[in-house]
A and B are shown apart, each in its own frame.
Chain A
Amino acid sequence: MQFSTYSSPHTGHTENVTRVMAQVLLAMVPGIIAMTWYFGWGVVINILLASLAAVSAEAFVLKLRKRAVAPVIMDLSAVVTAVLFAVSIPPLLPWWLTVGGMLFAIIVVKQLYGGLGFNPFNPAMAAYVLLLVSYPTEMTQWLPPRELSTHSLDFLTTLGIIFGNALPQGLSWDALTMATPLDEMRTQLDMGKMISEIRQSPLWGDYGGLGIEWVANWFLLGGLFLLWRRIITWHIPLSMIGAILIMGTAWWLAEPEANPFPAFHLFSGGVILGAFFIATDPVTAVTTKKGQLIFGALIGVLVYSIRSWGGYPDAVAFAVLLMNMAAPTIGYYTQPRVYGEQEKKDGA
């Protein structure tokens, strides 16, 4: 009798990449719904557009590389990249920027390095940064949250703006858009205003940006889901958030009128999304547990530093990309002690 032969172990696998990615997407759903509620249909349109662009770009490159297309597309990693990118960009970003960003993310940042697993940089964040430095105006035209919005844009109008730059009659970009809370905070502080004055602005909610704090809460819920499902571990989110909180608290305590309170940093921009969904991207993060604590903490330090003393109001993308560069080195020097390995004695 003839039998099939395989290499051990012979047990089936308990997990697969598609399921991992699908759970990441699922975890983002509450945050996406909240974002759509506060910022309109643009969020959904961007997600669909970015996903379509990302998947097409991936299929195109795989064809060029003469690789099987279906199994790679099915791993859903391109869709995760697209969704992360789409929730980071302004809801009314012109379509060609969204598509251009995705082409860059998938073709240059991901596939030119060898595809999933081989890219040193987070593709979504690299694309975001590319657009931010190349098209600063378009990339900072955020909509106000629905409470402050005077014009509610329906689906078709939003579609028209994104694809045809067709603003409704009598509406200008200035009237339609508004600074983000982080931007506002920065501008006002630069003008020498005190925190208590700045807080008078209607842009603020209870502890973060109005609306944005709730988007962050829902993303936080998704992050906890990923922790519960063991898709991610606590190390990177906790150390990143911890570092921001520690620095935020220290400066706030020293000068409460010149530095925003710590919760502001967490709930006014991309920190929660970044801590649970972006910095934890396993491909571009550190794999050792000790290394993850260092990696996360340094991202936190960079986020706080760039926000407080750097040139950009939000800094998650820059911080993550900078630490992506350091990840292999951190990993090498933070290898766990192997079973039975003797502690190195002094002089030995």
Chain B
Amino acid sequence: MSATAPLTLGHFHGGIHMPDHKAESTTQPVAAVKIPPQLILPLQQHIGAPAKAVVSAGEHVLKGQLIAAASGRVSAPIHAPTSGVISAIEDHLVPHSSGLSARCIIIDTDGRDEWAELPPPIDDFTSADNAVLIERIRESGIVGLGGATFPSSIKMEARNNSIDTLIINAAECEPYITCDDMLMREQADQIVSGIRIIQHILGAKRCLIGIEDNKPEAIKSMSAAVAAASLQHTDVVTVPTLYPSGGERQLTLLLTGKEVPSHGIPANIGIVCQNVGTVYAIADAVLKGRPLISRIVTITGEGVAQPQNVYSLIGTSAGELVSQAGGYTGKANQLICGGPMMGYSMPTDEVPVTKGVNCLLVASEQDCPPPEPATACIRCGKCAEACPAQLLPQQLYWHSRSRNFDKAQDYHLFDCIECGCCSHVCPSHIQLVHYYRFAKTQIWSKEKEKIKADHARQRHEARVARLERIAAERKARMRKKKAVLKSKKGGGDSAKKAVIAAAVKRAAAKKSAAMAATDSNQSATE
């Protein structure tokens, strides 16, 4: 065991160096913010099925109370971040690249911040059953806080002890974002507790904590915490600052020298990767019984007066947080949820912070210049040199643009992680990632249509088969009847007489039974 292992085992193709702009928001400790008057909680804050609201408008809720339940395995519940009254369940702008609205629960806070009754802490997690721990993580609504927002409990489920390595993703490679950095500086001990919980559940033999070398304080604090807890086979690994080293696939390659299979997940090669913020939230859920109702958010950029990190309640609007950070400067031009490379640009600051929002970048035109008009692709190949997935972005662009989606998939469109390196280096200023997103969504919607069409065809075929069957049955009945009639003709009148006699007998029996019943009724009333 060593506290720091300076060497990485692999390196990924391409990537880009750029100014990291981390210093601006790390000058002061993570600040608490006052409870905003209103919280907006989208039902979909995670990958998978949207949660189902279990409260209705007008209801009073307490802090930590379940307000929307997971619907299905890949889903996550949502809890009230503070006490208050549900004022509405309606559509509201959400942080999503589409810039569209989605169903949200809106809470008017009461300022009392009253806790609901929380599930009991599981202090002795080493003797707790895995199923109990995983259920706790699931019901606490914990999802990947690095931005992917995949429900964390699913990654922890039993894999027959096939997990060999736990990777803690603390690379935080995007410029401007410092929430993981600050978390590690201030909460290293609880992160280490979280690592121990996850290690215990997964039974992983070793744990690698990957941190980019532009965060020396975080590296120091994490190394100290790991040493203090005398964690076995846990290494803080310093990785070179090179975007996108914090991509799950890139970090896996850096730390282990192994590649996650195309179309696969790290578990396929015995690895589980968790973001450091997620690890912290897991410790909160297990050791304190607290659901995921807040997170650290970086508020930065030249458009904000006092760049800093804050503990934000989930659902706080961007505008509220910016005003906590000193408000806008005159330079504010763009509001980006996330970092400058992969974040979404939002039209207004009414957008709420969700579980996956790690940064609000209020960018000036210097931070993020408006895109210059694109010119023709000269096939210079700079994009291919920068691509961390070893793709040929110019070919993907060519085929996506001409809607030649089969060809685009031939060139491995779905291995694109949309990191934006290709667009960044493109001398023709082509918004390459935009074209890939377009192609992907077109292919998805085509697939959906195909499934629909298949379904319709199956139904049509079933209907045709059913009609044929009914017709065949009718024919068979007719044939049978005819055969019976034929045989009757041969059998003579005796059969007919027998039938008539039987019917008469039945009628007589019925009549006598009815008579008996009326008699008894009469006797009863007398």
Q: A interface vs B, CB < 8 Å?
A: 1-17, 19-20, 71-72, 75, 77, 115-118, 233, 282-283, 285, 287-288, 331, 335-342
Closest to B426 in A: A13
B340 contacts which of A9, A17, A336 (Cβ < 8 Å)? A9
Structural contact, B332 and A3, CB atoms closer than 8 A: yes
Beta-carbon contacts under 8 Å, B407-443 to A: 411-412, 415, 418, 420, 423-429, 431, 433-434, 437
Known contacts A2-B348, A6-B371, then 13 further A-B pairs from the complex at CB < 8 Å, ordered by chain A residue = A3-B345, A4-B345, A7-B371, A7-B431, A8-B340, A12-B368, A17-B427, A20-B427, A117-B428, A337-B390, A338-B390, A338-B391, A340-B260
Structural contact, A17 and B375, CB atoms closer than 8 A: yes
Structural contact, B394 and A287, CB atoms closer than 8 A: yes
Structural contact, A339 and B379, CB atoms closer than 8 A: no
Structural contact, A4 and B391, CB atoms closer than 8 A: no
Complex Cα gap A202–B476 (Å): 107
Complex Cα gap A175–B249 (Å): 70
Q: B interface vs A, CB < 8 Å?
A: 12-13, 18, 97, 99, 175, 249, 253, 259-264, 319, 328, 332-336, 338, 340-349, 361, 363, 367-373, 375-382, 384, 388-392, 394-395, 411-412, 415, 418, 420, 423-429, 431, 433-434, 437
B375 contacts which of A5, A71, A233 (Cβ < 8 Å)? A71
A75 CB contacts on chain B under 8 angstroms? 375
Structural contact, B343 and A10, CB atoms closer than 8 A: yes
B428 CB contacts on chain A under 8 angstroms? 16-17, 117
Structural contact, A11 and B368, CB atoms closer than 8 A: yes
B332 CB contacts on chain A under 8 angstroms? 1, 3
A287 CB contacts on chain B under 8 angstroms? 379, 381, 384, 392, 394-395
| Min distance, Cβ B337 to any Cβ of chain A, angstroms | 10
Closest to B422 in A: A9
A1 CB contacts on chain B under 8 angstroms? 319, 328, 332, 335, 348-349
Structural contact, A10 and B345, CB atoms closer than 8 A: yes
Decide: A9 near B378, CB < 8 A? Known: A3-B345, A339-B12.
no
Decide: A13 near B429, CB < 8 A? Known: A8-B342, A336-B390.
yes
Complex Cα gap A280–B311 (Å): 53
B437 CB contacts on chain A under 8 angstroms? 7
B361 CB contacts on chain A under 8 angstroms? 10
| Min distance, Cβ B400 to any Cβ of chain A, angstroms | 14
B372 CB contacts on chain A under 8 angstroms? 13, 16
| Min distance, Cβ A291 to any Cβ of chain B, angstroms | 10
Structural contact, B345 and A8, CB atoms closer than 8 A: yes
Most buried by B among A115, A339, A341: A339
Complex Cα gap A71–B429 (Å): 13
Structural contact, A20 and B378, CB atoms closer than 8 A: yes
B434 CB contacts on chain A under 8 angstroms? 7
Closest to B430 in A: A13
Of the A-B pairs whose beta carbons lie under 8 Å apart in the complex, a sample of 26, sorted by A's number, is A3-B332, A3-B334, A3-B349, A4-B333, A4-B345, A5-B345, A5-B347, A6-B334, A7-B345, A10-B343, A11-B18, A11-B175, A15-B382, A20-B378, A20-B427, A71-B375, A116-B376, A117-B379, A287-B384, A338-B390, A339-B12, A339-B13, A340-B261, A340-B262, A340-B263, A340-B389
Complex Cα gap A2–B334 (Å): 9
Closest to B342 in A: A8
Complex Cα gap A272–B261 (Å): 43
Structural contact, B379 and A3, CB atoms closer than 8 A: no
B99 CB contacts on chain A under 8 angstroms? 5
Closest to B344 in A: A8
Decide: A338 near B389, CB < 8 A? Known: A1-B319, A11-B424, A116-B378.
yes
Structural contact, B411 and A283, CB atoms closer than 8 A: no
Structural contact, B424 and A8, CB atoms closer than 8 A: no
B390 CB contacts on chain A under 8 angstroms? 336-339
| Min distance, Cβ B371 to any Cβ of chain A, angstroms | 6
Complex Cα gap A158–B132 (Å): 92
Decide: A15 near B425, CB < 8 A? Known: A6-B371, A10-B363, A341-B262.
yes
A233 CB contacts on chain B under 8 angstroms? 381
Complex Cα gap A24–B340 (Å): 31
A342 CB contacts on chain B under 8 angstroms? 261-262
What are the 7 tightest A-B residue pairs by CB atom distance, in nearest-first order?
A9-B420, A117-B376, A340-B262, A10-B368, A15-B427, A5-B345, A7-B434
Structural contact, A339 and B415, CB atoms closer than 8 A: yes
B411 contacts which of A16, A19, A335 (Cβ < 8 Å)? A335
Complex Cα gap A72–B437 (Å): 28
| Min distance, Cβ A342 to any Cβ of chain B, angstroms | 6
B343 CB contacts on chain A under 8 angstroms? 8, 10
B97 CB contacts on chain A under 8 angstroms? 7-8
Structural contact, A5 and B346, CB atoms closer than 8 A: yes
Structural contact, B249 and A340, CB atoms closer than 8 A: yes
Closest to B384 in A: A287
Structural contact, A335 and B392, CB atoms closer than 8 A: yes
B394 CB contacts on chain A under 8 angstroms? 287
Complex Cα gap A283–B380 (Å): 7
Closest to A21 in B: B378
| Min distance, Cβ A81 to any Cβ of chain B, angstroms | 12
Complex Cα gap A9–B386 (Å): 14
B175 CB contacts on chain A under 8 angstroms? 11
A19 CB contacts on chain B under 8 angstroms? 427
Complex Cα gap A117–B373 (Å): 16
Complex Cα gap A26–B199 (Å): 59
B369 CB contacts on chain A under 8 angstroms? 12
Decide: A282 near B381, CB < 8 A? Known: A2-B348, A335-B392, A340-B260.
yes
Structural contact, A10 and B334, CB atoms closer than 8 A: yes
A331 CB contacts on chain B under 8 angstroms? 395
Decide: A338 near B344, CB < 8 A? Known: A9-B424, A9-B433, A287-B395.
no
B391 CB contacts on chain A under 8 angstroms? 338
| Min distance, Cβ A120 to any Cβ of chain B, angstroms | 11
Closest to B375 in A: A17
Closest to A115 in B: B376
Structural contact, A341 and B412, CB atoms closer than 8 A: yes
Structural contact, A8 and B335, CB atoms closer than 8 A: no
Structural contact, B341 and A283, CB atoms closer than 8 A: no
